[in-house]
Amino acid sequence: MSPEEYLSQIGTLTRRVALHTERLRRLCREADAVSSSWGEHLPSGRADPPWLRLLERIESLREEVERENDLLARLQAQAEETIERLPEEMMRLVMLYRYLEGDTFSRIGDLLFMSKANAKRWHDRALERLVLPEDPVSVLPERAS
- Percent with pLDDT over 90 in the chain: 71
What pLDDT, on the 0 to 100 scale, is given for residue 37? 46
Are 17 and 89 a contacting pair, CB within 8 Å? no
Average pLDDT over residues 112-134: 96
What pLDDT, on the 0 to 100 scale, is given for residue 40? 53
Task: Give the pLDDT confidence of 14-72 residue by residue, as tens digits.
Answer: 999 999 999 999 888 887 776 454 555 555 555 566 777 888 888 999 999 999 999 99
Mean pLDDT of the chain: 87
What pLDDT, on the 0 to 100 scale, is given for residue 145? 47
What pLDDT, on the 0 to 100 scale, is given for residue 31? 77
Are 79 and 136 a contacting pair, CB within 8 Å? no
Are 75 and 140 a contacting pair, CB within 8 Å? no
What pLDDT, on the 0 to 100 scale, is given for residue 140? 67
Q: Which residues contact 90 (CB under 8 A, 6 or more apart)?
A: 112, 122
What pLDDT, on the 0 to 100 scale, is given for residue 41? 53
Produce one character per residue of 53-83: b if its CB has 16 or more CB atoms within 10 Å, e if not: ebeeebeebeeebeebeebbeebbebbeebb
How many whole angstroms separate alpha carbon 101 and alpha carbon 81? 15
* Model pTM score: 0.80
Task: Give the pLDDT confidence of 56-88 residue by residue, as tens digits.
Answer: 888 999 999 999 999 999 999 999 999 999 999
